[in-house]
């Protein structure tokens, strides 16, 4: 099933219905966030904040621990993508265009360096998570009731609140279906075929997808362009548009070369996932196929 990180537009205020940012939405009142509350080691430097996790409840504890573990994995996951961008690898070029110049490469690196700190001595390395990440809040409460929304029969895994939400600006919620995903550690090369596919999808992938929606993680030198969930016509000239979610559709957005890859969250997530498995499995995976029809 194609991964989907969206809250249906029916949840949006009427003034936002035309907004092409469906996983960026608005709403209500919160408890006070705190540092990582779990029991799997100390908080990571500049780790996310947590709210509404009851540590006397085993499920809540397991979920906080899973986020904590995936956040730690995300560091090397992003570093691998930065290496892929520097090398202009097949994985990077599958989801971003470097044929004409390095504009998209530079925009991608600029965005990722809002999540991790650049090593000034080595463009292939990172030092830590940025201070920005320490202000990102994960709310265990489905505060928009978004996980119950119906979106064309697709499974909703996570959403990010709109920056204009006074109570929860840019807060993230993971739905039950997200916690069913494996972390990268538990996905093996033996499970993979020869193509980039949804078998590579992970909770870490979902987490980083949502982190790219933070308003400060913009592309371009001035951070002016915000990373959204872009739509495009799968059939050229068709009025019907699809969201560029999943390995295949994110790749198709790149194939159309319409300049929106650097503002689409799943192009970042799938480039990073593709690069991770190319590097980990020591092979170059081939182009994805439409798993909804093939």
**What is the per-residue pLDDT across 246-263, written as a single tens digit (0 to 9) for each?**
999 999 999 987 789 999
Contact predicate 177/196, CB 8 Å: no
d(CA 95, CA 88): 11
Contact predicate 170/139, CB 8 Å: no
> Residues 6 or more apart from 53 whose CB is under 8 A from it?
37, 60, 61, 63, 64, 140
As given in the structure block, the two tokens for residue 197 are 């596919």
Q: Which residues of the chain have pLDDT under 70?
A: 1-30, 150-153, 219-225, 293-294
Running DSSP on this structure, what letter comes out for residue 234? S
Q: How many residues does the chain have?
A: 294
> Beta strand pairing status for 172-174 and 158-161?
antiparallel
**Which has the closest alpha carbon to 250: 194, 216, 212?**
212
Contact predicate 250/272, CB 8 Å: no
> Residues 6 or more apart from 173 whose CB is under 8 A from it?
138, 139, 140, 141, 142, 143, 144, 146, 147, 158, 159, 161
Q: What are the Cα distances from residue 288, in Å, to 117, 149, 195, 250?
A: 31, 28, 5, 10
Per-residue pLDDT at 88? 95
Q: Report the C-alpha dihedral over residues 131, 273, 178, 66, rounded to 10 degrees.
A: -50
Q: Which helix (H) or strand (E) holds 138?
A: strand 137-139
Q: How many helices (H) and strands (E) does the chain have?
A: 7, 9
Q: What is the distance of C-alpha 35 from the center of its chain? A: 21
N- to C-terminal Cα distance for the chain? 12
Q: What is the pTM of this model?
A: 0.88
Please provide the DSSP assignment of 74-101 as one string.
HHHHHHHHHHHHHHT-HHHHHHS--SS-
Per-residue pLDDT at 259? 83
Positive or negative, the CA dihedral 224, 80, 67, 201 is positive
Per-residue pLDDT at 114? 93
Per-residue pLDDT at 36? 98
The structure tokens 């498995």 sit at: 277
Ramachandran angles phi, psi of 219, nearest 5°? -105, 160
Question: Which spans in the chain are helix H?
Answer: 58-87, 90-95, 103-112, 176-179, 203-211, 246-256, 265-281
As given in the structure block, the two tokens for residue 233 are 């016509």
d(CA 158, CA 63): 13
């Amino acid at each position: 099933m194609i991964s989907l990180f969206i809250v249906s537009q029916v949840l949006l205020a009427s003034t936002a219905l035309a907004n092409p940012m469906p996983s960026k939405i608005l709403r209500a009142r919160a408890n006070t966030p705190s540092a990582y509350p779990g029991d799997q080691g100390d908080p990571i430097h500049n780790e996310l904040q947590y709210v509404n996790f009851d540590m006397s409840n085993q499920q809540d504890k397991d979920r906080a621990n899973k986020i904590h573990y995936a956040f730690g994995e995300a560091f090397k996951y992003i570093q691998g993508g930065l290496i892929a961008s520097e090398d202009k690898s097949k994985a990077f070029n599958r989801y971003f265009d470097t044929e004409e110049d390095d504009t998209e490469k530079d925009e991608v690196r600029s965005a990722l360096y809002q999540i991790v700190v650049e090593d000034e001595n080595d463009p292939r390395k990172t030092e830590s998570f940025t201070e920005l990440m320490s202000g990102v809040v994960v709310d265990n409460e489905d505060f928009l009731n978004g996980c119950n929304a119906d979106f064309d029969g697709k499974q909703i895994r996570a959403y990010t609140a709109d920056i204009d939400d006074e109570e929860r600006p840019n807060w993230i919620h993971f739905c039950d279906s997200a916690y069913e995903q494996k972390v990268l550690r538990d996905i093996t090369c033996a499970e993979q075929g020869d193509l980039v596919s949804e078998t590579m999808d992970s909770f870490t992938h979902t987490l980083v997808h949502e982190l790219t929606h933070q308003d400060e993680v913009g592309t371009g030198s001035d951070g002016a362009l915000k990373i959204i969930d872009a739509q495009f016509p799968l059939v050229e000239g068709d009025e019907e548009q699809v969201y560029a979610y999943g390995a295949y559709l994110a790749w198709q957005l790149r194939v159309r070369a319409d300049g929106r890859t650097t503002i689409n969250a799943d192009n970042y997530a799938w480039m990073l996932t593709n690069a991770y498995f190319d590097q980990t499995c020591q092979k170059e995976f081939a182009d994805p196929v439409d798993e909804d029809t093939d």
